[in-house]
């Protein structure tokens, strides 16, 4: 925690102690949740600043309150840096998070009841791409595409035939659990053919796109939404980029369409994170994430594990537990007791229930931020595979505790940024 700790510890020892324990947990566990990362001390400092006290409904130069002397330049800097980072015509830095950003994109471009298309949740898509329990599946008529059964890749022929048959107003391309590159140009061609808007949701891969380790959707998509807290390594928040022609509609959809005052402290932290991502070292980071994911995939395959699609092109892998006969939930829980944090995840055509699916999602963004390199991947694979073996054996607490010690020992060489 940072400089104001003594005040927090005096004012609220209970919360202080819990945050301290969370710090220690983040330091001592192998964090493989694909949507998480470690932000820098600078990002944490901006997040914990006086800007949390400020209301700023509207946009720089057009606000509804006084006292904008400093929040206006902060938001303008955030916007300019986001545009530079992604090479986009327009940026809106106000979305509270990824889900509201997606809702704002829909509000800007569609009418309720319009047909939208997205990757189905069980195939690696996100709730907000039209899944039935999401507002996006309730207010819009959602058509969902999937992946092929044989190679687990998005089936562009299926996307095209569904688009031709359903004539969607908007097509989402993006994922939360898909280990392969996205064909933005292919999606754009289909969207053009059927007269749909193309919306790319790069929540998971924004850092890879910013760092040149994944193709960019910016030349292809009408609108690009993202979170700022996953591979992009900023504060929790959302960001929308768009072509100039959609700028006014996007801004109007975010405010006053969907949100009230922006979170100015988060805006400042986004600006800090964008500046960090503009440094050459961030390119190295993005490429290292992908190299680490490939290295880990190879090492896990060598240990006899199965991976959805046989490997990865991005920051994540989906380990298929089917050959082990185990459910994902049990294995994820045992791994957590062993000091390895990840989540159970559905795999394509999963025979098990969503609450206890057949896969484990493994992301490399957080441990790469700690400086773990490609040549460490066999050791990381051993930590994971040995813990899965403990789960299969239903190992007792003592053996899990011993494994947790091994994880802590491994991580000692890699200080956690920000903590
Ligand atoms: C994480 C994620 C979101 C939602 O982000 P929140 O900040 O959790 O609302 C949206 N889309 C995709 C593809 C994601 O992975």
Q: For the chain, give every domain's residue range.
A: 44-278, 285-412
Domain 44-278: which CATH number of 2.60.40.2380, 3.40.640.10, 3.40.800.10, 3.30.450.20:
3.40.640.10
Is the pLDDT assigned to residue 216 strictly greater than 80?
yes
126 is in an annotated binding site: yes
Rounded to an integer, what distance in angstroms lies between the CA atom of residue 327 and that of residue 344? Answer: 8
Rounded to an integer, what distance in angstroms lies between the CA atom of residue 168 and that of residue 143? Answer: 8
Q: Is the CB of 205 under 6 A from ligand 1?
A: no
DSSP 293-331: HHHHHHHHHHTT-EEGGGS-SSSEEEEE-GGGT--HHHH
125 is in an annotated binding site: yes
Preceding omega of 336 cis (within 30 degrees of 0): no
Residue scoring higher pLDDT (355 or 33) = 33
Q: In sequence order, what are the residues at sequence separation of 6 or more whose Cβ sits closer than 8 angstroms to the Cβ of residue 245?
A: none
pLDDT tens figures, 135-186: 999 999 999 999 999 999 999 999 999 999 999 999 999 999 999 999 999 9
Closest CA to 184 of 201, 204, 203: 201
Are 93 and 82 spatial neighbours (Cβ–Cβ below 8 Å)?
Answer: yes
Closest CA to 247 of 82, 114, 118, 125: 82
pLDDT tens figures, 256-309: 999 999 999 999 999 999 999 999 999 999 999 999 999 999 999 999 999 999
Residue 100 Cα: closest atom of ligand 1? 9
Ligand 1 centre from 203 Cα, in Å?
6
Residues 98-109 have a mean pLDDT of: 98
- Residue 24's pLDDT is what? 96
Domain 44-278 shares a fold with domain 285-412: no
Residue 236 Cα: closest atom of ligand 1? 7
Beta 30-31 vs 340-341: how paired, if at all? parallel
Query: Distance of alpha carbon 126 from its chain centroid, rounded?
Result: 10
Is the pLDDT assigned to residue 1 strictly greater than 60?
no
Ligand 1 centre from 234 Cα, in Å?
14
Place 4 in a pLDDT band, splitting at 50, 70 and 90. low
| 37, 125, 130, 176, best to mutate for ligand 1 pocket (most atoms within 8 Å of CB) | 176
Rounded to an integer, what distance in angstroms lies between the CA atom of residue 71 and that of residue 271? Answer: 12
Residue 102 Cα: closest atom of ligand 1? 10
Are 223 and 197 spatial neighbours (Cβ–Cβ below 8 Å)?
Answer: yes
Residues 111-132 have a mean pLDDT of: 96
* Tokens describing residue 364: 């490399």
Q: Is the CB of 128 under 6 A from ligand 1?
A: yes
Percentage, residues of the chain above pLDDT 70: 99
36 is in an annotated binding site: no
* Tokens describing residue 188: 């754009």
Provide the annotated active-site residues: 55, 57, 201, 227, 230, 236
Is the pLDDT assigned to residue 5 strictly greater than 90?
no
Closest CA to 228 of 218, 220, 239, 217: 239
- Residue 2's pLDDT is what? 55
Q: What are phi and psi of 155, to 5 degrees?
A: -95, 100
Is the pLDDT assigned to residue 318 strictly greater than 70?
yes
Ligand 1 centre from 413 Cα, in Å?
31
Ligand 1 centre from 87 Cα, in Å?
22
Ligand 1 centre from 238 Cα, in Å?
9
| 116, 128, 209, best to mutate for ligand 1 pocket (most atoms within 8 Å of CB) | 128
pLDDT tens figures, 254-265: 999 999 999 999
Residue 175 Cα: closest atom of ligand 1? 13
Domain 285-412: which CATH number of 3.30.230.70, 3.40.50.150, 3.40.50.300, 3.90.1150.10:
3.90.1150.10
Rounded to an integer, what distance in angstroms lies between the CA atom of residue 178 and that of residue 152? Answer: 9
Q: Is the CB of 176 under 6 A from ligand 1?
A: yes
Atom 4 of ligand 1: nearest residue by CA position: 98
Q: Is the CB of 225 under 6 A from ligand 1?
A: no
Average pLDDT of the chain is 97
């Amino acid at each position: 925690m940072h400089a104001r700790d003594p005040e927090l510890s005096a004012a609220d020892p209970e919360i202080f102690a819990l945050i301290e324990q969370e710090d220690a947990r983040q330091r001592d566990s192998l964090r493989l949740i694909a949507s998480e990362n470690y932000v820098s001390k600078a990002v944490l400092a901006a997040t914990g600043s006086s800007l949390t006290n400020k209301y700023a409904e509207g946009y720089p130069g057009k606000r509804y309150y006084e006292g904008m002397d400093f929040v206006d330049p902060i938001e303008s800097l955030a916007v300019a840096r986001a545009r530079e980072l992604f090479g986009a015509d327009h940026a809106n830095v106000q979305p509270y998070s990824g889900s509201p950003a997606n809702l704002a994109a829909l509000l800007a471009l569609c009418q309720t009841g319009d047909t939208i298309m997205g990757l189905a949740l069980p195939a690696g898509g996100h709730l907000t791409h039209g899944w039935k329990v999401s507002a996006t599946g309730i207010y819009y008529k959602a058509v969902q595409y999937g992946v092929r059964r044989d190679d687990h890749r998005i089936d562009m022929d299926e996307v095209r035939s569904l688009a031709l048959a359903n004539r969607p107003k908007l097509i989402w391309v993006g994922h939360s659990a898909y280990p392969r590159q996205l064909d933005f140009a292919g999606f754009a061609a289909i969207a053009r053919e059927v007269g749909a808007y193309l919306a790319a949701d790069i929540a998971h891969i924004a850092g890879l796109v910013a760092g040149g380790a994944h193709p960019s959707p910016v030349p292809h998509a009408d609108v690009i939404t993202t979170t700022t807290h996953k591979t992009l390594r900023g504060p929790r928040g959302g960001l929308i980029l768009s072509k100039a022609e959609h700028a006014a509609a996007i801004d109007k959809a975010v405010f006053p369409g969907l949100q009230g005052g922006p979170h100015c402290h988060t805006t400042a932290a986004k600006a800090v994170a964008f500046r960090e991502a503009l440094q050459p070292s961030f390119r190295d980071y993005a490429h290292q994430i992908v190299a680490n994911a490939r290295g880990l995939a190879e090492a896990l395959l060598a240990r006899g594990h199965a991976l959805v699609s046989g490997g990865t092109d991005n920051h994540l892998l989906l380990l298929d537990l089917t050959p082990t006969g185990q459910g994902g939930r049990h294995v994820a829980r045992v791994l957590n007791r062993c000091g390895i944090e990840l989540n159970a995840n559905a795999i394509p055509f999963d025979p098990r229930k969503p609450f206890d699916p057949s896969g484990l999602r493994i992301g490399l963004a957080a441990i790469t931020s700690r400086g773990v390199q490609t040549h460490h991947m066999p050791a990381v694979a051993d930590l994971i595979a040995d813990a899965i073996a403990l789960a299969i054996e239903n190992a007792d607490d003592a053996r899990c505790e011993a494994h947790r010690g091994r994880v802590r020992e491994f991580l000692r060489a890699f200080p956690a940024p920000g903590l």
